[in-house]
Amino acid sequence: MKIPDFAASTGCRALGPQVVKAYRGYAAYQHNTDRQIPLLILERRPR
């Protein structure tokens, strides 16, 4: 079993526009908090 990785802060910045496009409200949520919201990168296991 592969353990999911948290995106590094540079990865979060690169994924930011995609996340905002996919999940309405994410940008406002990030704006309203002082903490960095972690992004969890998941990969499918081969069958």
* pLDDT at position 8: 59
Residue 2: strand, helix, or coil: coil
Domain boundaries, the chain: 5-41
Determine if the pTM surpasses 0.75: no
User: What does the alpha-carbon distance between residue 35 and residue 43 come to, in Å, rounded to a whole number?
Assistant: 25
Going by pLDDT thresholds of 50, 70 and 90, the confidence category of residue 1 is: very low
6-34 per-position pLDDT tens digit: 565 566 667 778 888 888 888 888 889 88
